[in-house]
Amino acid sequence: MKTLTLDVEGSLSGKGQTLILHGDGVQTIRVLTEISAPVEDPKTLDGPLCNVIFHAMRHCSKLKVKGPISEKLFRNIALFQEAWHCYCPDDYQFVDIEAADVIPSENFSMTPHNKNAIQTFSGGVDSIFTLFRHPGAIDSGSAETTRSALLVHGFDVPLSNQTDFDNLRKRIEKITDSADVALHVVRTSLRESLPTNWNHSHGAALASVLHLYSQSSRVGRIAGSDPYNYVSFVPHPWGSSPATDYLTSGDEMEIVHDGAGYSRPQKVAFLADRWPEALRLAQFCWRGKDRSANCGNCDKCVQTRLSLLAAGHGENIIFGSQLEPKMIDRLKFNEETLGDILPLLDLARANGCDAPWVHRIAEQVSPFLPVMYKSNRSIGRSIRYFKAAFRELMPR
C-alpha cells in the first residue's frame, strides 16, 4: 500500500496555507485555505492532519507528516481511525502516522490557557443555539466564552457560488454582530480537492478549520445535530457526533461537540422564546435554487414549521407562508427520518400540543415502532414514552 506525505506551505499570519499531499506514483493534491484576517500560526499540524485523515484512511497505509503533531491528537487520531474502521471496515483502513515530531502534552501545559472559544457557524438552528447558550444562557459547565464564530465557504455553499455565499454571510453577520461575536471566514478547497464521503468526513473537516484558530481560542465548538437519546436512530455513521468529534482534539485546541442534550425541535422552541430575532435569520435549508433562503417545503423546513407550532409559536417567525396539510403528507417516514420526527412529537407532548397534525404524524410513525423497539433496546425509553402518549394508535 502507498505512503503519502503531508506538507504545509504558507502562513496564517499571511493570507493562508496550502496543504500538499504527495507520494510516489500518485497525483499531488493541493488544498488551498484562505482566511479573512491573519492569525498566529498554530505550533502543530493538528488541523492539517484532521483535514486529510479521511483521504488517508481510504488511499494509503502510511502518512508522513512533515511537521509536529501534539501528543493528544496523535493519541486521539488513532482512536478516531479505529472508530471509522469499525463503522465502515470496507472503506477505511488504519493508517500508520509518522510525524516529524510529537510534542508532549506537558509542553503545552506551561502555556497559560485563554478562556476563549470559537465555534463553527453555518447559520442554522444548531449553530445559533450553541452561540446563544455560551455564555451562560443554558449552563453547560464551560469556562470558555464564545468570542468568535467561523463561517466556511466551500462546505455548504460551493466555492463557485459567490453570490449566495455573500448573502449568507450578510445574514450571519447580523446574528454574530448582535451577539458581539467576531465572524471569521475561511475559504477552502477541501471538498473539491479531496473528495470524500461528506456525510462521513464533515466533522473532521470542521475540526480542521477550527484548529486554524488554536492560538486565540482554547476551545473549538462544533454545534451538534442529533441529541444523545436519538443518536442511535441514525441508521448510518454520521461525520459529526458526540462519539467521534472529541477525538479530533489536540493539546492546542479542545474540540467540543456542543448541544447534544437538546433536540432540534427543542432548540427551535428555545430560540423562538429567547432569541427570535436570530431565529428569523436562520438558514438551514439548502434545497431551494437560492441557497441563501429556506424553501419552506422540504422535510427540514416542514419539521421546523411543526417545531414552532408544537412550541406554541407562529410559523411567521421564519416563514412567509402557512403550513398546509399537503406539506405533512409529503414528509418522508422511514427509519432514516424517525430520529428527526420523534423529537418533534416529544416536544408537542411536552407542551400539550394536541393539534390534528400531531395525530396525523403519530399515525404515520406508529408502524415503525414495534420493529425498532425490538431491534434496539437503547431507544426503548423514548418509544415507551411515545406509546404512553399515543396509546390509542399503537398496534395491539
Applying CB under 5 A, the residues found at the interface with Zn ion are 285, 287, 295, 298, 301
CA separation for the pair 153, 161 (Å, rounded): 9
CA separation for the pair 331, 264 (Å, rounded): 17
- The cell for 256 is 467540543
The torsion angles phi and psi of 229, rounded to 5 degrees, stand at -75, -5
Contacts of 106 (CB under 8 A, 6+ apart): none
Nearer to Zn ion, 140 or 167 (CB): 167
Q: How far is the CB of 282 from Zn ion (least distance, A)?
A: 12
CA separation for the pair 2, 21 (Å, rounded): 12
Residue 57 in 3-state DSSP? Answer: helix
Q: How far is the CB of 367 from Zn ion (least distance, A)?
A: 26
Q: How far is the CB of 234 from Zn ion (least distance, A)?
A: 20
Nearer to Zn ion, 59 or 291 (CB): 291
Q: Which of 2, 118, 111 is nearest to 63 (CA)?
A: 2
Using CB positions, name the residue nearest to Zn ion: 285
Q: How far is the CB of 304 from Zn ion (least distance, A)?
A: 8
Report the C-alpha dihedral over residues 49, 50, 55, 58, rounded to 10 degrees.
Answer: 100
Q: How far is the CB of 313 from Zn ion (least distance, A)?
A: 18
Nearer to Zn ion, 183 or 331 (CB): 331
Nearer to Zn ion, 50 or 318 (CB): 318
Nearer to Zn ion, 186 or 285 (CB): 285
The torsion angles phi and psi of 164, rounded to 5 degrees, stand at -65, -35
Nearer to Zn ion, 146 or 304 (CB): 304
Q: How far is the CB of 368 from Zn ion (least distance, A)?
A: 24
Q: How far is the CB of 294 from Zn ion (least distance, A)?
A: 5
What type of residue is 18? Answer: T
Residue 371 in 3-state DSSP? Answer: helix
Q: Is residue 279 within 8 Å of residue 268, measured between CB atoms?
A: yes
Q: Which residues of 242-278 are buried (b: 16+ CB within 10 A; e: fewer)?
A: bebbbbbbbbbbbbbbbbbebbbbbbbbbbbeebeeb
The torsion angles phi and psi of 289, rounded to 5 degrees, stand at -60, -40
Nearer to Zn ion, 8 or 361 (CB): 361
Residue 157 in 3-state DSSP? Answer: coil
